[in-house]
């Protein structure tokens, strides 16, 4: 007896997301044909400019699957960038040390926040809200001026390019290969590793079980607290790594950096099919969420006359739309 | 007997907030002995303490709204700062008729204020709809306006700072005529009194608490939980609107980027400091108001210690974490465990002696 494969609401949400991304991108190709939306490089740029966000969103997805949330990621990014810039420019540290410190900061945030959330039982939102203000304030304490990074090794990393076998031809008919910087490679590796971790490893399956129903996960004998703590630590680490990638893009540290990044990351995850109530979500879906965010920004940039505020507004509207769909789907499921 | 009395005092709801306020004030008095001195300069009251009470006005207004939202929905509205910016933008834009700087009103002030409050109420209603009707966690729902709100305010003002250089507009954030007391203080007092009266005279206060303690049970006894939650968000929105107008009147302009910046954190902190449990349920309006003044006193103290505005959040974040940790169940159990251990230890010792 073959059962007809039912469309789950998860798959449905992911499908909407992918379709939305394709529609938006194709619309961009048609409307802004002269802006080069059809060029492969334009597509790759979606990854290039959002590599940091991609890694951060993956971390956030893991936390959100357990039913938690982390809104400190934007501030952690700013702090990481500032610390790296300060270490390399003012303290004379090498780029390797700076990277290690960056990852350490992320890890520390993850450990402290994870401890407060899981072992002290405080609402994740309050903890990470405090983390968000703490990180931003600490950035300001280090320096209120912008520090540009001029470290040779760091700039070498930032400007390194992997050239692709494909590309586009310019007006003179010369072939220009498409390229990606190392940040994209790291980000994609993180996405794949996270996807494997969540899908095929014990730890990942535990996360879904806890997010689906904490009580039954506990009764099944899962170590709920330890697993959730690990999720926050992993999220913190990825926020640190994302901050490093972000820094490779901006090559500077300043207080206002990455403001609102937490919103971008949360909306990317939600648009990518992660349920706010936990238990559902995939890094691949989140990746498409990030791509949609990237497409919105490049569409608005291409349009030219709209102010950059519109990116946030459109993204918020989209987030709102997906939250409403989730809520409707959830209530429909209950009625069944 | 004495011990019981002490326990009664320390166990009171308002014990913690009042102790905090006294502690902050004490630090101030030690650092600046003339902290409580009030003098009259140019016909208005002048002094540190007046400054603290004056500056805290917006925060008090926000804290009142935040208390209700927290009590009813067990979550916080983090969009209040952005809603302030929206209200200020709408108000100033109508008054200026679209120009960047005006020296007289282009439209009536009543129209502007009503429109601003309506806009704020609309923001509140949007949050309320998401939280109460669609059951989205309050903080995620309000996160939408937290980010989009300032963008909307920018759109309203066309990305510029709108100046209203009219003396009567400066009144709300300054002084009315020859009255020596700053006007924002009156706004704060009026808000607290009106909301307190509404809660006392109608059953709304009780309803809010019961919905916060157990929404399902409240619905089963016939309360419209959804409506009550929704209402608290609308009230919170309107109060944020009032705070926004006061804030914009202080600087006689609408600065979409800076009005109410980081105030949501202060408002949540005020509620927590006031002895209110952030998970909802019973609440104390007076506690939140005391909390708000405490925070403003703390802010002023930190400024006096040469801490820059950008760096303030670090200290506030630490205070928040300490408070919520003290409030958390795990910590309470831990303390209770210590106490019972001590008690049993004492009993054991007593037994040996006998």
Q: What is the pLDDT of residues B301-337, one digit of tens each?
A: 888 788 887 888 888 888 878 877 877 778 878 888 8
Residue A231 lies in a domain: yes
Subunit contact B317:A263, Cβ cutoff 8 A: no
Domain count within chain A:
1
Whole-angstrom distance, CA of residue B336 vs CA of residue B7: 14
Nearest to B172, CA basis, from B101, B237, B254, B244: B244
- Tokens of residue B131, six digits: 């939280």
ipTM greater than cut 0.90 = no
Q: What is the pLDDT of residues A291-315, one digit of tens each?
A: 998 988 888 888 777 777 788 888 8
Q: What is the distance in angstroms between the CA of the first residue and the CA of the last residue of chain A?
A: 24
pLDDT at A327: 79
Per-residue pLDDT of chain B (354 residues; tens, 9 = 90+): 566 766 666 666 677 778 888 888 888 888 777 777 788 877 777 788 888 899 999 999 999 999 999 999 888 898 999 999 999 999 999 988 878 788 888 888 899 999 999 999 999 999 999 999 888 888 888 988 988 898 899 888 888 888 888 888 888 888 887 788 889 999 999 999 999 999 988 888 888 988 988 888 888 888 888 999 999 999 999 999 999 999 999 988 888 888 888 888 889 889 888 888 888 888 889 999 999 998 898 888 888 788 887 888 888 888 878 877 877 778 878 888 888 877 776 665 554 544
Residue A130 lies in a domain: yes
Residue A156 lies in a domain: yes
Per-residue DSSP letter, A97: H
Nearest beta carbon to residue A121 from set B311, B315, B329: B329
Q: What is the pLDDT of residues B37-62, one digit of tens each?
A: 788 877 777 788 888 899 999 999 99
Whole-angstrom distance, CA of residue B233 vs CA of residue B78: 11
pLDDT at B353: 46
Is pLDDT of A3 > 50?
no
- Shortest Cα distance, chain A CAs vs residue B332, angstroms: 10
- Shortest Cα distance, chain B CAs vs residue A78, angstroms: 13
Give the least confident one: A25-39, A89-103, A144-158: A25-39
Whole-angstrom distance, CA of residue A292 vs CA of residue A26: 12
pLDDT at B7: 67
Contacts of B335 in chain A (CB under 8 A): none
Nearest beta carbon to residue A137 from set B135, B137, B317: B317
Subunit contact A126:B324, Cβ cutoff 8 A: yes
3-state secondary structure B131-170: HHHCCCCHHHHHHHHHHHHHHHHHHHCCCCCEEECCHHHH
pLDDT at B6: 67
Residue A334 lies in a domain: no
**A322 part of contact set with chain B, CB < 8 Å:** no
Whole-angstrom distance, CA of residue B223 vs CA of residue B328: 29
- Which single residue is written with the structure tokens 């006392």? B200
- Shortest Cα distance, chain A CAs vs residue B83, angstroms: 14
Residues 262-281 of A with CB under 8 A from B: 263, 266, 276
- Shortest Cα distance, chain A CAs vs residue B317, angstroms: 5
Count Cβ atoms within 10 A of the Cβ of residue A117 and give its class: 0-12 exposed, 13-18 middle, 19 or more buried. buried
Subunit contact A116:B321, Cβ cutoff 8 A: yes
Q: Could you tell me the residue range of the domain that residue A124 belongs to? A: 40-258
Closest chain A CA to residue B138: A125
Q: What is the pLDDT of residues A246-274, one digit of tens each?
A: 999 888 888 888 887 888 898 899 888 88
Q: Would you kindly state where each structural domain of chain B is located, as residue ranges?
A: 58-287
**Phi, psi (degrees; rounded to nearest 5) at A88:** -75, -40
**A127 part of contact set with chain B, CB < 8 Å:** yes
**A111 part of contact set with chain B, CB < 8 Å:** no
Q: What is the pLDDT of residues A61-88, one digit of tens each?
A: 999 999 888 989 999 999 999 999 999 9
Q: Give every CB contact of residue B299 below 8 A, 6+ residues apart in sequence.
A: B55, B266, B312
Residue A100 lies in a domain: yes
Subunit contact A327:B324, Cβ cutoff 8 A: no
Question: For chains A and B, what is the number of CB pairs under 8 angstroms?
Answer: 121
- Tokens of residue B333, six digits: 């159990």
Nearest to A53, CA basis, from A220, A252, A186: A186
Contacts of B308 in chain A (CB under 8 A): 140, 144
- Tokens of residue B187, six digits: 């706004």
């Amino acid at each position: 007896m073959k059962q007809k494969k039912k469309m789950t609401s998860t798959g449905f949400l992911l499908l909407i997301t992918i379709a939305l991304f394709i529609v938006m991108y194709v619309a961009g190709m048609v409307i802004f044909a002269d802006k080069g939306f059809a060029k492969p490089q334009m597509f790759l740029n979606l990854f290039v400019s959002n590599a940091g966000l991609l890694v951060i969103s993956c971390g956030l997805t893991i936390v959100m699957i357990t039913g938690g949330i982390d809104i400190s990621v934007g501030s952690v990014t700013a702090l990481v960038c500032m610390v790296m810039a300060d270490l390399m420019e003012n303290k004379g540290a090498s780029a390797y040390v700076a990277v290690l410190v960056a990852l350490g900061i992320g890890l520390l945030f993850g450990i402290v926040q994870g401890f407060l959330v899981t072992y002290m039982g405080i609402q994740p939102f309050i903890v990470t809200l405090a983390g968000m203000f703490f990180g931003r304030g600490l950035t300001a304490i280090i320096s209120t001026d912008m520090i540009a990074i001029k470290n040779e090794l760091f700039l070498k990393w930032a400007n390194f390019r992997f050239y692709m076998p494909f590309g586009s031809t310019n007006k003179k008919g010369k072939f220009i290969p498409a390229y990606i910087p190392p940040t994209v490679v790291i980000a994609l590796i993180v996405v794949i590793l996270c996807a494997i971790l969540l899908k095929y490893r014990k730890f990942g399956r535990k996360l879904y079980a806890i997010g689906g129903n904490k009580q039954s996960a506990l009764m099944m004998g899962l170590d709920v607290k330890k697993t959730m703590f690990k999720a926050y630590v992993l999220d913190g680490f990825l926020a640190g790594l994302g901050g490093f990638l972000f820094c490779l893009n901006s090559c500077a540290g300043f207080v206002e950096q990455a403001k609102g990044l937490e919103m971008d990351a949360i909306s990317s995850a939600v648009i990518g099919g992660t349920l706010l109530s936990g238990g559902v979500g995939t890094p691949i879906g989140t990746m498409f969420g990030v791509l949609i965010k990237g497409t919105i920004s490049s569409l608005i940039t291409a349009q030219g006359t709209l102010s950059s505020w519109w990116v946030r507004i459109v993204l918020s509207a989209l987030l709102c739309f997906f939250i409403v769909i989730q809520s409707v789907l959830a209530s429909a499921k209950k009625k069944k | 007997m004495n011990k019981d009395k002490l326990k009664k005092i320390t166990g009171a709801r308002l014990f913690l907030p009042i102790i905090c306020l006294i502690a902050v004030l004490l630090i101030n008095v030690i650092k600046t002995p003339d902290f409580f001195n009030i003098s009259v300069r140019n016909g208005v009251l002048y002094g540190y303490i007046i400054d603290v009470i004056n500056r805290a006005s917006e925060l008090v207004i926000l804290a009142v709204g935040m208390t209700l939202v927290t009590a009813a929905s067990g979550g916080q509205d983090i969009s209040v700062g952005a809603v302030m910016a929206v209200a200020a933008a709408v108000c100033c834009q109508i008054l200026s008729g679209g120009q960047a700087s005006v020296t007289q009103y282009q439209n009536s002030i009543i129209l502007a204020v009503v429109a601003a409050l309506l806009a704020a109420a609309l923001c509140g209603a949007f949050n309320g709809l998401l939280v109460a009707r669609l059951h989205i966690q309050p903080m995620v729902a309000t996160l939408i306006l937290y980010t989009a709100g300032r963008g909307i305010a920018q759109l309203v003002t066309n990305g510029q700072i709108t100046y209203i250089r009219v003396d009567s507009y400066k009144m709300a954030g300054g002084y009315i005529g020859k009255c020596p007391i700053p006007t924002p203080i009156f706004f704060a007092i009026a808000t607290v009194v009106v909301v307190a009266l509404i809660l006392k005279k109608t059953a709304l206060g009780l309803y809010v608490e019961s919905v916060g303690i157990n929404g399902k049970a409240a619905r089963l006894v016939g309360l419209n939980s959804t409506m009550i939650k929704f209402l608290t968000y609308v009230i919170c929105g309107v109060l944020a609107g009032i705070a926004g107008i006061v804030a914009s009147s202080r600087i006689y302009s609408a600065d979409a980027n800076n009005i109410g910046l980081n105030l949501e954190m202060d408002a949540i902190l005020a509620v927590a400091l006031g002895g209110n449990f952030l998970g909802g349920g019973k609440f104390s309006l007076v506690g939140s108001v005391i909390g708000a003044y405490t925070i403003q006193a703390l802010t002023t103290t930190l400024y006096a210690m040469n801490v820059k505005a950008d760096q303030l959040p670090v200290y506030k974040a630490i205070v928040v974490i300490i408070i919520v940790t003290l409030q958390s169940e795990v910590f309470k159990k831990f303390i209770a465990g210590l106490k019972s251990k001590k008690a049993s230890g004492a009993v054991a010792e007593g037994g040996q002696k006998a």
